[in-house]
Amino acid sequence: MFPVRKSSLLAGALALLLSACSPGGPAVSDADRRVAAEEHPKILAEFGGSYDGRAAGYLSDVGEKVAKAAGLGGKCHFTLVNTDVVNAFAVPGCYIYLTRGLMGLVNSEDELASVLAHELGHIVANHGNAQRRQSVLSQLGVMAIEAITGSNKLARLAGAAAGLNALRYSREHEYEADDLGLSYLRKAGYDPYAAPEMLQSLQSYQDFLTSAAGGEADANTIPEWALTHPLTRNRIVRSEEAAERSGVKQGEHPELEAAYLGHVDGLLFGDDPQQGFVLGRSFSHPQMRIAFEAPTGFTLTNSPQAVLIEGPNGTRGEFGGAHGRRMGPDAYAEALLKSLVRDTPARVLSARRGAVNGAQAFMVQATIETGKGVVPISLATYARGNGELYHFLMVSQPGTEAQQGIASLFGSFRFLDAAQTARLKPRNIRVAQVRPGDTLQSLAARMAADRPVEMLLMLNGRSAAQGIRPGERLKLVEFAPG
């Protein structure tokens, strides 16, 4: 319903459970490939589908070149996924996924090849297998919760954090994938210096997010790529040294920039309007014409079925909805509670009808008993009156002061009018040639972004000191026409 964004958590965790390759076996076994092909549609569903078109075809072409260099020609499957999260990951069976968000950050075909070469390094070295062992442990934690409550949904809410930990490769595996990746990059005829440049771009992206969050780097500001492939200063230095050792001199091998930029011109940037827009702590959906805002200390992440909401002290939950069901907000609340708790002992503490910003609403406070104690649940449902229903479902830790934040969240839900909806426009990457007289500031003025100068520099992999030169081509972010 909110065709995907972040759930690379879930997709990743899913991916890890798939691998069945034996150590020492071939890098891509038939069994692995079969499992990966079966899981492929599920992974896509977690991400909101593939992003088709020119950029996707280009990704496959470059991927195939690098796969050939890795000895895996014709054996791999490359998919561009429709999320603005910055990530790339490999599933045993050589299914490699790269996000639209990462594609927007890359500046040359050589840099793109370096990311794919790194992922192929994980495949060839069979890292999925070792990683899988870790994930099975955390999956057990999730299943324990599921067994206790009999509820998939509750398990999913509780299990998101566990999934995240499971995705981390070790530093040794990262180094190994970097080393293998560099050799494939060279063999495929790309510039080895693209690898450290790409890592530097990811570091700049991380710095950009961290500075936006006021210097606090937490799991919600660090890009997923950095979480799944730990990114350290060491890795950048190491990768630079490896490029120098390759015998190629810096600048000797010009990177394919124009070809790359030609393929990402027009690429969707940020949220897909079909999935709704998360902007900081607010969420708005131009097609559903609804919006809400979470209070300070909360974070929002779009996912396929719902917007995941995380607050202080372990408060977590979701925003979702249902269409085409002729029922009031009270009946909808009851149906949701039933599907959530199933046979778990539950107690409704309060239930009341009301209106929130003009919408008919229903609020429920309840507790459920789990093997780990009594868990407070807060539920709010809203009806538009034409079969459209929406809800928040929040789980908090007992004994915390979570209710005030949850009440503020529940009170922020509103329907949007046509004029408000019209302002929610998708954005695209636009490649522009710098003309004489253009300045960093004049180009930044065209950017549809907060902190336009910083974003312009970050997206184009450069510092303010480097400046811009007439004739060169830069990526801008502009509102889609129309």
Question: Which residue number has the CB closest to Zn ion?
Answer: 229
Nearer to Zn ion, 177 or 333 (CB): 177
Least spacing, CB of residue 122 vs Zn ion, in Å: 6
> Please, which residue, 167 or 409, has the CB nearer to Zn ion?
167
> Cβ of residue 373: shortest distance to Zn ion, in angstroms?
38
Contacts of 446 (CB under 8 A, 6+ apart): 432, 476, 478
Virtual CA dihedral for 458, 170, 26, 14, nearest 10 degrees? Answer: -80
- Interface positions, 176-215, toward Zn ion (CB under 5 A): 177
Cβ-based nearer residue to Zn ion, 96 or 142: 96
Alpha-carbon gap, residue 193 to 183, rounded angstroms: 12
* Shorter beta-carbon distance to Zn ion: residue 177 or 308: 177
- DSSP reduced 3-state for 426: coil
First vs last C-alpha separation in the chain = 25
Separation between Cα atoms, residue 390 and residue 370, nearest integer Å? 26
Supply the minimum distance, in Å, between the C-beta of residue 454 and Zn ion. Answer: 27
Q: Between residues 229 and 285, which has the closer beta carbon with respect to Zn ion?
A: 229
- Are 378 and 403 contacting, i.e. CB atoms less than 8 angstroms apart? yes
Q: Which two tokens stand for residue 219?
A: 């799991």
Closest separation between CB of residue 222 and Zn ion, Å? 15
Region from 87-95, 97-105, 222-230, 451-459 binding Zn ion, contact rule CB under 5 A: 222-230
Q: How far is the CB of 227 from Zn ion (least distance, A)?
A: 11
Q: How far is the CB of 89 from Zn ion (least distance, A)?
A: 8
Pairwise CA distance, residues 134 & 392, whole Å: 32
CA distance 193 to 246: 10
458-477 residues near Zn ion, rule: CB under 5 A: none
Residue closer to Zn ion by CB (options 8, 421) is 8
Stretch that binds Zn ion, among 221-229, 255-263, 313-321, 461-469 (CB under 5 A): 221-229
Kindly identify the residues of this chain, within the stretch 142-171, that bind Zn ion according to CB under 5 A. 169
Number of chain residues interacting with Zn ion (CB under 5 A): 3
Residues counted in the chain: 482
Nearer to Zn ion, 177 or 457 (CB): 177
CB of 169 to Zn ion, least distance (A): 5
Q: Which is nearer to Zn ion, 122 or 427 (CB)?
A: 122
Interactions with Zn ion, residue window 289-328 (CB under 5 A): none
List the beta bridge partners of residue 277.
Answer: 284
Using the structure block, give the residue that is written with the tokens 């599933």.
Answer: 91
Stretch that binds Zn ion, among 50-58, 174-182, 297-305, 341-349 (CB under 5 A): 174-182
Span from 47-55, 77-85, 228-236, 439-447 in contact with Zn ion (CB under 5 A): 228-236
Using only C-alpha atoms, the chain has a radius of gyration, in whole angstroms, of 23
Tokens for 228? Answer: 């799944």
User: In this structure, are residues 139 and 202 in contact, taking their beta carbons and an 8 Å threshold?
Assistant: no
CB of 413 to Zn ion, least distance (A): 40
Nearest to 316 by CA among 331, 294, 332: 294
431 to 450: interface string for Zn ion, x by CB under 5 A: --------------------
For residue 49, the minimal CB distance to Zn ion (Å) is 24
Does position 235 bind Zn ion by CB under 5 A? Answer: no
- Are the beta carbons of 17 and 167 closer than 8 angstroms? no
Q: Rounded to the nearest whole angstrom, what is the least distance from the CB of residue 28 to Zn ion in the complex?
A: 17
**Helix (H) and strand (E) counts in the chain:** 17, 17
Determine the Cα–Cα distance for residues 99 and 439; give it in Å rounded to an integer: 31
177 vs 364 by CB, closer to Zn ion: 177
Nearest 10 degrees: Cα torsion 414, 452, 227, 72: 110
- Asked if residues 294 and 309 have their Cβ atoms less than 8 Å apart, the reply is yes
Q: How many CB atoms lie within 10 A of CB 284?
A: 22
| Helices of type H across 150-193 | 152-166, 171-187
The first and second tokens of residue 209, run together, are 């997010």
Q: How far is the CB of 225 from Zn ion (least distance, A)?
A: 8
Q: Which is nearer to Zn ion, 225 or 332 (CB)?
A: 225
Cβ distance to Zn ion smaller for residue 229 or 430: 229
Build a one-symbol-per-residue string for 93-132: x at contacts with Zn ion by CB under 5 A, - elsewhere: ----------------------------------------
The binder of Zn ion chosen from 229, 235, 427, 475 (CB under 5 A): 229
What are the residues binding Zn ion (CB under 5 A)? 169, 177, 229
